[in-house]
Structures are given as structure tokens and as C-alpha cells.
Copies of this chain bind each other. A is one copy, B any other.
Amino acid sequence: MTESLSECGKSRSEAFTVDLSSFGIREGISETIVSTGLESPNAAPIGIIVKGGRTFVRLFKGTHTWENVFKEKHLAANIVYDSLLFVRSTFFDLEPSEFDYVPARGLNFPVLKEAAAWVIFECVNLKDTDQALVADLIPVEAGFNEANRKNLPVPNRGFNAVLEAAVHATRYQLTEDEKYIELIRSYESLASRCGGENEKKAMKLIYEVLGL
């Protein structure tokens, strides 16, 4: 990485500036799908946190993302509007064919073909706690995929319900607390009323994963 920076004669701080808000990453938690893994690409839904001007991420121990970030100190946040992709990447490995590779700091970094945009971050100030790794994020490269921006995203309560159901499904897997099943069922009803085909498929997949 340092080689690549030396080659273009720029110091690290001059190498790249990006207005994160133009990529949609702003105060609060932006729900993205994070891709990592230079050798074997991996993707999982992860929130990019912006709080008081600091951009950081919390990664749970034992996950592929955690392992890859620990080793490679980079991650890509992919902006995605496909509820089924959020659910698939929550519970399953995506196909290698679903990744593109973009150059960043002399690396070929995996991003999602389906992303409307992606931001590659360097992970610094890694803090390892009992359950999670917290890392500050410095953007090093970013891009839009104009083809995926063609169809404007519009707020859809069905899409939102799928995100909530996926969050509660992972909590159910960890705790087996039945209250999460109740929540998931109520979000299923919302997804079915307000969502499209994709939201229905996504909820069906959550039900399959949980054996409902």
C-alpha cells in the first residue's frame, strides 16, 4: 500500500479526500453491505457509524468481516437498495461472481456489482473488546455505479420491514428469545403489504433460515 502511495508522490493525507455525505454516509448509522477479503471476497450487512464527526464501525468477533479487517485493515461499504441482497448476505456467502474488483492503494479490492456506490475505507485505531472490534474509518477510494443509480430508490415500508426482520432474525439466532419471532411476523405482514416481489422473497428466506 505504501508503495502505491509513494508511486504517485502523495502523502497519505493528501492521497484522497471524499465527501462522505455525497455517498450517503452521514450522521447516524448508514446500513451498508460491507465487502472485505482480498483473497476470498466476503460480504455482510454492517452499519457505518458517524457520530460527532468520527466515522467508525463495530465488527463482531468470529465473523469473516472481523477476520478480514483484522488482517487487511480495509473494508468497502457498498450502498445497496436490494432487500433480498441484505438478507442473503446476512445468512449466506454471496457468489464470487457477485463481486467486482476496483483498484485502491495498489490493491484490487472487492466491491458488490449491485452497489449504487461504494467507499473503501482504511481501518485505523483498532480497538479489540471482548465481543467486538471497533475501528475508525478513513476513506481511501470511492465510486458510483451509474447503471445501478438509474432507478431512483424511494422510501418503502416493506423494504424497511425486511431490514428490521433481518436484524431481529440474527438476534433470535443468538438468544432464541421468542419475542423476536413475534416482531419478525409483524414485519412480514408489513413487507407483504407494502413491499414488492423482492421483499416477499427476502421474508421467505428469513422464514426458511429460522425454520418458521
What is A's interface to B at a CB cutoff of 8 Å?
21-32, 47, 50, 79-81, 86, 116-117, 144, 149-160, 163-164, 167, 193-197, 199
Residues of B within 8 A of A154 (CB): 23-26, 30-32, 79
**With known contacts A26-B196, A160-B160, A160-B163, A152–B31 Cβ distance under 8 A:** no
17 further A-B contacts with Cβ under 8 Å, apart from A24-B153, A28-B158, are: A23-B154, A24-B151, A25-B154, A28-B156, A29-B158, A30-B154, A30-B155, A30-B156, A31-B155, A31-B157, A50-B196, A79-B152, A116-B152, A149-B152, A155-B159, A157-B167, A160-B160
Residues of B within 8 A of A22 (CB): 150-152
A161 to chain B, nearest CB (A): 9
- A160-B47 Cα distance, complex, nearest whole Å: 14
- In the complex, the answer to whether B152 meets A157 with C-beta atoms within 8 Å is no
Residues of B within 8 A of A156 (CB): 28-31
Closest B residue to A48 using CB positions: B154
- A113-B197 Cα distance, complex, nearest whole Å: 31
- In the complex, the answer to whether A194 meets B29 with C-beta atoms within 8 Å is yes
Q: What 10 A-B pairs have minimum CB-CB distances, sorted nearest first?
A: A24-B154, A27-B196, A160-B160, A24-B152, A28-B196, A31-B155, A29-B194, A30-B154, A28-B195, A28-B158
- A47-B159 Cα distance, complex, nearest whole Å: 14
Residues of B within 8 A of A160 (CB): 155, 157, 160, 163-164
- A197-B98 Cα distance, complex, nearest whole Å: 35
